[in-house]
Structure 1
Amino acid sequence: MRIQRILATTAALSCLATLAACEEGGRTSPPGGATATPSASAAPAEGPLAEAQRHMRQFTSCDDLSAKADDPRMPRGDFPKAGQWSVAELGVCSDKAEKGDIVIAVPKDMKAFQEGYKQYVMDRIKGGDGGYGHESRVLIGKGFVAFPTATKSALKLVRSDLRVLVCNPGGRVPEGYKREKPLVEGCGLTDFVSAEDGSGSPNFEMPQDPAGDGSKLGQPKNGSLGLPRAGSIAELRKLVGNSLDCEKNFSTDPEAVAIESIDYQPVVKGNALDWGVTGRALCGQPAGERRAHDLSWLDTVGDMKKLQTKAKAAQQADLKDDGKLKATGSLLLVGENIAVETNDPSSRFGLYQLQFLYLNCTPGFSAPSGYRLEKSQVEGCVLTNYEPDHPLR
């Protein structure tokens, strides 16, 4: 029975949170006739709706704008209509790339709109929908509100200045996301897009079990199987000599170390001391007659926790865009008091043989039996020699 209640609540949530039209019994149906295209005369050329469209089209498609009340893409049911929650104008456009629509509301008074939405959420909670609003698709912009029906549309829009309005008191913003104040008390604005099916923003606080149950090979119940160390950059250079291009092409000159290219991007950016790094060198060939190639960075580390904390934040920022790391960005492989940054899988293969481990902060990551998976010095990350895209052979 509890499962049935949860399913019923989830279906009801989608009435407003996803803006699909609701049928009797809380079932949802897609916006009627979503493939229909409104006439060109229905699209306002100027005014707040057109301004909102132009703004959103910098981040996602918002085509076939219409302000017609009978447009089949307009939601039915509980969605606020003109005159409710201070809404003066309503429009709708299509994000065909993501197979969804975006409803646009222009309130006369943004605070009044937010108060109306908050009251609606409170009423739904009092009515028994305790989780209502957790998967909010109410995105607050400057002078307008967007209601994307597709999660991917919402993910693109929060990369702009639009923020999700969350008014359920139980709603939490995970680590790594913005927490901003709206115009009404008891709510919050965030760039975290929650989705029940896991297709929203990655949650960097999802629990991970780096030790497993102790039954997987290569995964100690406590401590580590051992990490490499070196007393200096010179020792580190010698240690990794067979894995990286450090014998002929090597420099500790700060200007050379600061070199990066579109194909080779380091993990450590800016002042290395801020990352807990005490010494730094560049291996590989900087740009000259040829483009830069085979670039990797060597680090001696005075504060490993600081390095891993900063690297985690950088990795989270990269993952927020599309849930994937940039292919040209380096991965951070760490030892006890040393680290290497490289984006070359074959180089990392050699480094894993030297017992370096990769700092992985991807939510829910786990490794198959036979791979190392150990605790890092920061919560939410693990150290491993398993890369799903480049498994060891």
Structure 2
Amino acid sequence: MRTRTAQLLASAAAVTALLTLTGCGGGEDQTLGGIGSDTGTGSGGSTDGGAHEGTLENPAKNGGVNGNAPKDGTAFQKLPKAGTMAAAARYIGGFTDCRQVSADNGEDGPTGPNAEFDKAAGVTETGYCGRQNRTTILLYKDAKAFQTAFKAEMAKKGNGGNPDGGIVVGQDFAMGSQDADSMSALLQPQAGLLMLNCHPDFKPPSGFRKEPALVKGCVLTDYYKDH
């Protein structure tokens, strides 16, 4: 089942598929998380990330995935940190299909965020993985800038679409997918990721997390529903 593109990574016409990450079910819109409609830029790859890459077996290797996450930090500070596209893909692949990552979205894959969003959000690389490359991964250098740009994109689109969607984020990477199960899998406690939701009408059921994000008007949550 395809997730809706959130209003950025949001309506069937666009959320961010990064990443686009806001799921909006069904429909033919294949943007990432609802963010834009241009082909993603950047160069994904399947090569080893090198000295700065952590692994699932050793996530703290060289400060790689999870390497800098304090146990007593804020919700954001506890999120995984990748450093490279290879590390992000391997981490995501531990919970959902992401065996190979590529800079090419393929014939049926989602489109990545547009160049304007990339610049505002500090996106440095875009990669695609999963069946028919339906999952998009974004790397970014400034988490606050990314969240600010995501919120602005949502507002620009009128904050319509799925109020229970958004984009799945780590400290320096985001993930969006056309597959609702992939989105949900990464919000399970063992995955350690949360969804960035900037919708003004978001009201999760009791018991789900609703933690402060880095920008006012957005939250980090483990609640997601594909409408």
Which TM bucket (shorter chain)?
0.5 to 0.7
CA contact (8 A) 2:45 2:85 kept: no
Question: CA distance change for structure 1 residues 142 and 195 in 2, over 3 Å: closer, same or farther?
Answer: same
1:75 aligns with 2:111: yes
Deviation of 1:134 (Å): 1.4
Deviation of 1:29 (Å): 5.0
SS at match of 1:113: helix
Question: CA distance change for structure 1 residues 189 and 29 in 2, over 3 Å: closer, same or farther?
Answer: closer
Match of 1:104 in 2: 137
Q: Distance in 1 between matches of 2:116 and 2:110?
A: 11
Match of 2:187 in 1: 158
Match of 1:115 in 2: 148
TM-score (norm 1): 0.37
Match of 1:286 in 2: none
Deviation of 1:83 (Å): 2.8
| 1:154-193 paired onto structure 2 within 5 Å | 154-159=183-188, 160-193=191-224
Q: Distance in 1 between matches of 2:90 and 2:113?
A: 28
Deviations, residues 324-372 of structure 1 (Å, cap 9, x unaligned):
xxxxxxxxxxxxxxxxxxxxxxxxxxxxxxxxxxxxxxxxxxxxxxxxx
Question: CA distance change for structure 1 residues 109 and 124 in 2, over 3 Å: closer, same or farther?
Answer: same
Q: Distance in 2 between matches of 1:77 and 1:51?
A: 21
Deviation of 1:136 (Å): 2.3
Match of 2:47 in 1: 44
Deviation of 1:64 (Å): 2.2
Q: Distance in 1 between matches of 2:113 and 2:145?
A: 21
> Structure 2: which amino acid aligns with 1:28?
E
SS at match of 1:45: coil
Deviation of 1:82 (Å): 4.0
CA contact (8 A) 1:15 1:77 kept: no
SS at match of 1:136: coil
Deviations, residues 213-254 of structure 1 (Å, cap 9, x unaligned):
xxxxxxxxxxxxxxxxxxxxxxxxxxxxxxxxxxxxxxxxxx
Larger radius of gyration: 1
1:56 aligns with 2:92: yes
Match of 1:28 in 2: 28
SS at match of 1:103: strand
Q: Distance in 2 between matches of 1:167 and 1:30?
A: 20
Q: Distance in 1 between matches of 2:116 and 2:193?
A: 19
| 1:1-393 paired onto structure 2 within 5 Å | 13-17=11-15, 19=17, 28=28, 42-46=45-49, 48-68=84-104, 71-72=106-107, 73-75=109-111, 82-94=118-130, 96=131, 101-125=134-158, 130-159=159-188, 160-196=191-227
Q: Distance in 2 between matches of 1:100 and 1:15?
A: 19
Q: Distance in 2 between matches of 1:28 and 1:80?
A: 23
> Structure 2: which amino acid aligns with 1:45?
D
Question: CA distance change for structure 1 residues 90 and 80 in 2, over 3 Å: closer, same or farther?
Answer: farther
For structure 1, the 5+ residue unaligned runs are 1-8, 21-26, 32-40, 197-393
* Greater strand content: 1
Match of 2:40 in 1: none
Deviation of 1:142 (Å): 2.7
Q: Distance in 1 between matches of 2:134 and 2:216?
A: 30
CA contact (8 A) 1:18 1:148 kept: no
Deviation of 1:153 (Å): 0.5
> Structure 1: which amino acid aligns with 2:170?
G
> Structure 2: which amino acid aligns with 1:156?
A
Question: CA distance change for structure 1 residues 85 and 141 in 2, over 3 Å: closer, same or farther?
Answer: same
Q: Distance in 2 between matches of 1:143 and 1:108?
A: 6
Question: CA distance change for structure 1 residues 181 and 59 in 2, over 3 Å: closer, same or farther?
Answer: same
SS at match of 1:50: helix
Deviation of 1:43 (Å): 2.3
Q: Distance in 2 between matches of 1:108 and 1:18?
A: 17
Match of 2:65 in 1: none
CA contact (8 A) 2:30 2:178 kept: no
